[in-house]
Amino acid sequence: MPRHPDPFRAIDRQPDPGQFVQSLEARGRTRSQTRLRRHFLKFVRVKPGSRVLEVGCGTGVVCRDLAQMVGPRGRVVGVDPSRTLIQAARRLAREHGLDRRVRFVAGDGARLRFRDGTFDGALAVTVLLHVSNPQAIVMEMIRVTSPGGVVGVQDQDWGTQALDHPDRALTRRLFEGYTQKIYNDPWSGRTLFGMLRRLGLQHVRLITDVYQDTRLDPWTWSTLERRAAGAVKLGVVSEREARRWLSAIKAQAEAGAFVFTVNFYGAVGLKPT
C-alpha cells in the first residue's frame, strides 16, 4: 500500500522520526502556541487531583502542562502510536521532574486499552486532523471518561490560514492544493463543536483562538518550508514556484511585514451522568 502523505499518520515509518521530536518541541515552545494551548487547557477546567488522558500526546508537550495542572495528587496518561515519540516523551517528563505524575503508553487512540470510566477527563490536541477516523477516537475518549467527566478536542483549521504574500494566487493554490491532498478534511477544526454534540456530550462549549506570527518564528518557517516541499512532491506547484514563494516570504520578513495566522478551534463537553 502506498504510504499516506501525512507523516503524522506513521511517524516511526518516516526516514527521520527524530526530526518530529524536534519539531513538536519547537512548536510547543513557540510563544503563540504556548498561549493558545494553555488558554484551551484553562477552558477545559482541568481540576487538581484529577486523572486525565491525552490521546496523540506526541512528545508530551500538553501532558507536561497537564501534570502541572493536576498537581501531585493527580495523574496524567499520554497515548501515542509512535514509539519514537513515546520514548522522547518519557525522557522529557523525567528531565522536567514530572515523571511521577505522568505516564506514557504506546497505542492507537481508536483502540484504547483502558476500562470504561477510567479517567476524569480525556483530551486530544492537534490529533484528529491527522487520523482517518476522528469520530472513532472521540468515541473511545468518551468511553474511558467517567460519567460527568470532560472530553476536549482542539485542532487547527487549515481553511483559515492567512499569509500576507505578494503572490496571492500562488499562495492560495499552494495552501489549498497541499492541505486537500494531505488531510481528510483540512477544515476539520470548525467541525469539532458539532461532532461532540452529535456524539451526545452535554454543555458543549467552543473556544476559537489564533496562532499568530509576525516575526517568522523558526517553527513557522520550517512549517512553510515543509509545506512548499510537500506541494512540489504532490504536484501542486513546480520547484521554481516553491522557491519563488519561499524567497518572497523571507523578503517580507526582512522588511518587517511578515504576517501568518491560523485559527485553532477547541470544543469541550461533559459525558452524561
Ligand X SMILES: C[S@@+](CC[C@H](N)C(=O)[O-])C[C@H]1O[C@@H](n2cnc3c(N)ncnc32)[C@H](O)[C@@H]1O
CB closer to ligand X, 154 vs 160: 154
CA distance 48 to 74: 6
Of residues 118 through 177, those in contact with ligand X by CB under 6 A are 125-127, 130-131, 137
CB closer to ligand X, 50 vs 82: 82
β pairing state of 162-163 and 260-270: antiparallel
Instruction: Kindly state the number of chain residues that form the binding site for ligand X, as judged by CB under 6 A.
Output: 24
When binding is defined by CB under 6 A, the residue of 32, 50, 82, 145 that contacts ligand X is 82
8 binds ligand X (CB under 6 A): yes
- Secondary structure of 236-247 in HEC code, one letter for each residue: CCCHHHHHHHHH
55 binds ligand X (CB under 6 A): yes
In order, the DSSP letters of 171-205 are HHHHHHHHHHHH-S-TTGGGGHHHHHHHTT-EEEE
CB closer to ligand X, 126 vs 263: 126
92 binds ligand X (CB under 6 A): no
Q: What share of the chain is helix, strand, coil (3-state, %, to 5)?
A: 45, 20, 30
89 binds ligand X (CB under 6 A): no
Tell me the CA distances in angstroms from 62 to 11, 138, 167, 196, one per residue in order: 18, 18, 36, 21
CB closer to ligand X, 55 vs 201: 55
Which cell numbers hold the place of 203? Answer: 454543555
When binding is defined by CB under 6 A, the residue of 7, 17, 21, 28 that contacts ligand X is 28
- The contact mask relative to ligand X for 102-121 (x = CB under 6 A, - = no) is ------xxx-----------
CA distance 162 to 160: 6
Looking up cell 487538581, which residue turns up?
48
52 binds ligand X (CB under 6 A): no
262 binds ligand X (CB under 6 A): no
Which cell numbers hold the place of 16? Answer: 527521520
61 binds ligand X (CB under 6 A): yes
CB closer to ligand X, 28 vs 149: 28
209 binds ligand X (CB under 6 A): no
Least distance from ligand X to the Cβ atom of residue 183, Å: 12
Residue 73 CB-density burial (10 A; 0-12 exposed, 13-18 middle, 19+ buried):
exposed
**Residues of this chain that bind ligand X (CB under 6 A):** 8-9, 11, 24, 28, 55-58, 61-62, 80-82, 85, 108-110, 125-127, 130-131, 137
